[in-house]
């Protein structure tokens, strides 16, 4: 339930509404906007009788949520959210951002070499997995804290902010201590406790769409993070699961303009996981930017043949340099 206050409601009126909600045993979360304040009501078990609320002074409307999200929605936050990570800004109206790096951090040599190369080619952020979700328990699961330390070293070396995945609530503080952006992987998109935990971590979150998540579920997952007070969420389309086997997943690029209609949050595209095939990454990265994506995330490995994971979809360093040259032209074409 969402309580929309009158434009000129006083802070006293707002407090009174919050108190009333809390008396009903519910949680009230104030959402101040540029024009008016709204109050999100959480914790209700089923339908809430709103009569006692509607009559309070300053209340303009009570909206029973039909969509499973609201703070994420453009309706309640019409202006685009711009997320600042160091010098980098991601969001509508800003120059699209390129995040690059290996699937997994494997060694100091590998990550430092890659970081330098992608920085020099023009990437603005570094990706690299220290905790790796793997289908089975017997494959490489990431270097864990050692990997985080190597990422921090790469940041020190290049200045690139770091995005890295966190897979478990108990590791959020650990990962947040090393990285700039906490990534939630596709398999954890509906790990609701983890979403709440990163919502409380005070760091931007990079939320990947689940393998078979609808757009509504994707936005509702983001809502879990915003509901904890963290609106620094970057959405990422990374391909969905379909019957087609020619690609690893099916890149659903229409998501880009749809998300921009429905939400104020930035949307980034990961063509590497979506296609699973090196040769498809450049055309899909460029198509994503022209479709309006606020950034792309690209896997790069100095020696893809020997990569411990996702080698076939990683660009080589020269391949990435070539793509960056093309992306620079696309950005110019798009007016950035």
CB 3 within 8 Å of CB 31: no
Q: Which stretch binds its own copies (CB under 8 A): 15-23, 85-93, 218-226, 316-324?
A: 218-226
Q: How far is the CB of 122 from its own copies (least distance, A)?
A: 19
323 binds its own copies (CB under 8 A): no
Query: Among 45, 87, 93, 305, which residue sits at the site for its own copies (rule: CB under 8 A)?
Result: 45
First to last CA, the chain: 40
Q: How far is the CB of 241 from its own copies (least distance, A)?
A: 5
State how far the alpha carbon of 171 is from the alpha carbons of 111, 129, 164, in Å.
Answer: 22, 14, 12
Query: Among 109, 173, 214, 318, which residue sits at the site for its own copies (rule: CB under 8 A)?
Result: 214
State how far the alpha carbon of 252 is from the alpha carbons of 42, 241, 249, 314, 323, in Å.
Answer: 32, 10, 9, 20, 21
34 binds its own copies (CB under 8 A): no
Residues from 70 through 99 that contact its own copies (CB under 8 A): 70
198 binds its own copies (CB under 8 A): no
Q: Which stretch binds its own copies (CB under 8 A): 76-84, 110-118, 173-181, 221-229?
A: 221-229
Task: Give the ranges where 41-144 is alpha helix by DSSP (H).
Answer: 51-54, 108-121
Q: Which stretch binds its own copies (CB under 8 A): 49-57, 122-130, 271-279, 313-321?
A: 271-279
Q: By rule CB under 8 A, what string of x and - marks binding of each residue 290-309 to its own copies?
A: xxx---------------x-
Query: Among 35, 49, 244, 305, which residue sits at the site for its own copies (rule: CB under 8 A)?
Result: 244
Query: Among 130, 151, 172, 256, which residue sits at the site for its own copies (rule: CB under 8 A)?
Result: 256
31 binds its own copies (CB under 8 A): no
Length of the chain: 336
Please, which residue, 149 or 286, has the CB nearer to its own copies?
Answer: 286
- 325: enclosing H helix or E strand: helix 317-333
Bridge-based pairing of strands 125-127 and 97-101 is parallel
State how far the alpha carbon of 88 is from the alpha carbons of 52, 95, 98, in Å.
Answer: 46, 9, 10
Residues 6+ apart with CB under 8 A from 73: 67, 219, 262, 263, 264
Q: Which stretch binds its own copies (CB under 8 A): 4-12, 75-83, 109-117, 212-220?
A: 212-220
Q: Hey, how many other C-beta atoms are within 10 angstroms of the C-beta on 136?
A: 6
Residues from 101 through 140 that contact its own copies (CB under 8 A): 106, 133-140
């Amino acid at each position: 339930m969402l309580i929309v206050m009158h434009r000129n409601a006083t802070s006293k009126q707002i407090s009174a509404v919050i108190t009333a909600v809390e008396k009903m045993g519910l949680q009230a979360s104030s959402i101040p906007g540029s024009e008016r304040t709204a109050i999100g009501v959480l914790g209700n078990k089923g339908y809430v009788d709103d009569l006692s609320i509607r009559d309070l002074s300053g209340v303009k409307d009570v909206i029973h949520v039909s969509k499973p999200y609201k703070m994420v929605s453009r309706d309640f936050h019409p202006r685009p959210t711009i997320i600042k990570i160091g010098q980098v800004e991601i969001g509508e109206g800003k120059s699209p951002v390129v995040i690059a790096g290996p699937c997994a951090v494997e060694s100091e040599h590998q990550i430092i070499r890659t970081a330098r190369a992608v920085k020099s080619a023009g990437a603005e952020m570094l990706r690299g997995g220290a905790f790796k979700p793997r289908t089975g328990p017997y494959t490489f699961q990431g270097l864990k804290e050692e990997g985080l330390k190597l990422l921090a070293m790469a940041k020190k070396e290049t200045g690139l902010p770091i995005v890295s995945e966190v897979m478990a609530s108990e590791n959020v503080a650990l990962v947040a201590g090393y990285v700039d952006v906490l990534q939630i992987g596709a398999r954890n998109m509906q790990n609701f406790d983890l979403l709440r935990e990163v919502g409380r971590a005070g760091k931007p979150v990079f939320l990947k769409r689940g393998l078979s998540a609808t757009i509504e579920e994707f936005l509702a997952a983001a809502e879990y993070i915003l509901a904890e007070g963290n609106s620094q969420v970057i959405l990422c389309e990374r391909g969905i699961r379909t019957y087609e086997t020619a690609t690893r997943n099916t890149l659903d690029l229409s998501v880009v303009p749809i998300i921009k209609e429905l939400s104020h949050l930035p949307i980034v595209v990961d063509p590497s996981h979506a296609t699973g095939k090196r040769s498809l990454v450049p055309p899909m990265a460029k198509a994503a930017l022209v479709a309006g994506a606020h950034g792309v995330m690209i896997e790069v490995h100095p020696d893809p043949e020997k990569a411990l994971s996702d080698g076939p979809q990683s660009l080589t360093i020269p391949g990435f340099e070539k793509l960056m040259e093309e992306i620079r032209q696309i950005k110019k074409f798009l007016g950035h």
